[in-house]
Amino acid sequence: MSDTDSSHARSRRSSGQADEVELPRSFLQYIRSFGPGFIVVLTWLGAGDIVAAGVAGGNYGYALSWAMVLALAVRYAFVSMIARYQLCNPRGEGVLDGLARCNRCYAPFLLIAVLIWGHLSATYMLAGIGEISVDISGVGKNYLWQIFWVAVVVSIIFRPLYNRAELIFKVLLALLAVSLLGCALWVGFDPGALLKGVFAFEIPEQQGPFGASLVALGMIGAVGGSLVNLVYPYFLEQKGWKRPEHRRLQNYDFLLAVVAMVIFNLAVWTLGAELVFGTTLSIASIDDMAILLGGVLGDAGRLMFLIGVFAAIFTSIVGAGLGLSCLGSHAWYRWRAKNNEPLEIEYRFSKVYRYLVIWIVVSPLVWRGQAEFVSLTLLANTFSVVMIPAIAGGLWWITAKGSFIGAQYRNRWWENALMGFVFVLALFGAVEAVKSILTQLGLFQV
């Protein structure tokens, strides 16, 4: 075995992932093989995304829906480059290993990001799933439901068994499709207006505190720096996709998953456009959307929507807990290593991984469901400002340099142009976010 092959094997053993899988040969084998893409997109799709799509549809009707579709298309291209590095780099290393070779500060930086963002995001997601559980069942208290669902999530991810997680996600994916698409079809929508909104690239007049162009740029600019983009490689590892030969399978899987996410987002956008746009009504929360649907479709429509929201939040909690704990434990051991050699520890089954699961999933219970914390919001926003350009810039560097990803797989000119575009938008969004935070604190005047 060559030195490269040896390092490849050691690196792959360190991740504790499944054995390599055989490549599918038929259409049905391809369909049965799909999984990691759906896990990562359902991890992205949370209550916040549902509210954001509903609010945008309520403010702009169908006119700005192209921005959401374009943002997801950019994210598809961006995350596909991350996957290409994971599968094709000559050292057989993970994406985090590549970032750490670019600059050793990436490992502690990403560990801190996991600790802060993971805790804050889980705090709000648990508050949401507690409220949804009370609304659906009509019994119990928010906090008791949070404790119950935390126990369920920990039982799933404390000792990560990928096949079990994938099965759960596929079941909830079907539930989500029935819920969101069913509500959109039940309410009714204008196919012509929807198609025009997706393809006309119209910039409508400003509604709310931000102009339509700023909203569109924000949607696109935020995709590259999202911390959750970096959990996708761990789902590929656990599936057993680890070689360049798995690249086509990964592409099909991820493309289908992103198309499903586009459809789900458009379904929610449709609800906002049909129920709110052109009226004096407004949407500020999941409850607002559920009440509006209840008024139009009755209790059955309201319940159908809430079940879909539950599926979105639950998969976000499980996916974030599983993926961020892998990312954080990998970052810890990479930071502690004295060099860039492959790690000789199965970090996914380490004590650090389990500590991170407890921190991300269990520690938010200390807030007892009180998720409205101005200081926590400011902290999360401030940290995101730093995180987005740093992650986008680092990923651009390691996918563009042949010395990192290999000359055969480095970015083509249009991919570098795309990465540069996302990086510039990330910087622009960071500046605007800093201004917003300083304005809230009274330290900056527009």
Q: Place 12 in a pLDDT band, splitting at 50, 70 and 90.
A: very low
Per-residue model confidence (pLDDT) at position 427: 79
pLDDT tens sequence across 395-438: 999 999 999 999 999 999 999 998 888 788 777 767 766 666 66
What pLDDT is stored for residue 59 in this prediction? 85
Question: Are 414 and 422 a contacting pair, CB within 8 Å?
Answer: no
Which CATH number covers residue 374? 1.20.1740.10
Please, which pLDDT band fits residue 10 given cuts at 50, 70 and 90? very low
Tell me how far apart the alpha carbons of residues 306 and 134 are, in angstroms, rounded to a whole number: 11
> What SS3 class is residue 349?
helix
Q: What is the average per-residue pLDDT within 259-271? A: 92
**Cα–Cα dist 432/174, whole Å:** 38
Q: Which amino acid is at 325?
A: S
Q: How far apart are CA 78 and CA 415, in angstroms?
A: 8
The reply to whether 137 falls in a domain is yes
Q: What is the pLDDT of residues 92-138, one digit of tens each?
A: 899 999 999 999 999 999 999 999 889 988 888 888 898 899 999 99
Predicted local distance difference test score (pLDDT) of residue 210: 56
**Claim: this prediction has a pTM higher than 0.85:** yes
Question: Does residue 440 belong to any structural domain of this protein?
Answer: no
Asked, for residue 442, whether it belongs to a domain, the answer is no
What is the share, in percent, of the chain residues with pLDDT greater than 70? 83
Instruction: Tell me which residue of 49, 44, 71, 42 sits closest to 272, measured CA to CA.
Output: 49
pLDDT digits (tens, 9 = 90+) for 54-83: 888 888 889 888 888 888 888 898 899 999
2 has pLDDT over 90? no
- Record the tokens describing residue 9, joined without a space: 């094997």
Q: Which helix (H) or strand (E) holds 309?
A: helix 299-336
Q: According to the model, what pLDDT value does residue 368 have?
A: 74
pLDDT in tens, 16-26: 445 667 788 88
Q: Domain for residue 423, yes or no? A: no
Tell me the mean pLDDT in the region 366-393: 64
What pLDDT is recorded for position 140?
Answer: 87
If one compares 385 and 304, the residue with the highest pLDDT of the two is: 304
Place of tokens 């069913």: 182
CA 93/CA 404 separation, integer angstroms: 10
Q: Per the domain annotation, does 18 fall within a domain?
A: yes
**What is the rounded CA–CA span in Å between residue 325 and residue 11?**
18
- 188-199: per-residue pLDDT in tens? 888 899 999 888
Averaged pLDDT for residues 344-370: 88
**203 exposed, middle or buried (CB, 10 Å; 0-12, 13-18, 19+)?**
middle
CA 41 to chain centre: 6
Which residues neighbour 26 within 8 Å (Cβ) at sequence distance 6 or greater? none
Say if 90 falls within a structural domain.
yes
DSSP 23-82: PP-SHHHHHHH--HHHHHHHHH--HHHHHHHHHHHHHHTTTTHHHHHHHHHHHHHHHHHH
Supply the pLDDT for residue 371: 53
In the predicted structure, residue 6 carries a pLDDT above the cut 70: no
Q: Which residue range is the domain that position 210 belongs to?
A: 3-385
Q: Which long-range contacts (CB under 8 A, 24 or more apart) does 430-437 make?
A: 430/385, 430/386, 430/388, 430/389, 432/214, 432/218, 433/381, 433/384, 433/385, 434/385, 436/381, 437/378, 437/381, 437/382, 437/385
Mean pLDDT of the region 327-349: 87
Residues whose CB falls within 8 Å of the CB of residue 215, separated by 6 or more in sequence, listed in order: 56, 64, 67
Mean pLDDT of the chain: 83
Q: What is the mean pLDDT of residues 254-261?
A: 93
- Weakest-pLDDT range from 34-48, 280-294, 329-343, 420-434: 420-434
Amino acid at 196: K
When divided into structural domains, the chain yields a total of 1
Q: Which of 266-275, 280-289, 396-405 has the lowest mean pLDDT?
A: 280-289
Is 176 among the domain residues?
yes
On the question of pLDDT at 443 being above 70, the answer is no
**pLDDT given for residue 4 in this prediction:** 40
Residue 415 lies in a domain: no
pLDDT at 172 over 80: yes
Q: 261 pLDDT exceeds 60?
A: yes
Please tell me the least confidently modeled range out of 140-144, 221-225, 309-313. Answer: 221-225
Residue 34 CB partners (closer than 8 Å, separation 6+): 252, 253, 256, 257
The predicted-structure confidence for 207-241, as pLDDT tens digits, reads as follows 655 566 666 666 665 555 578 889 999 999 999 99
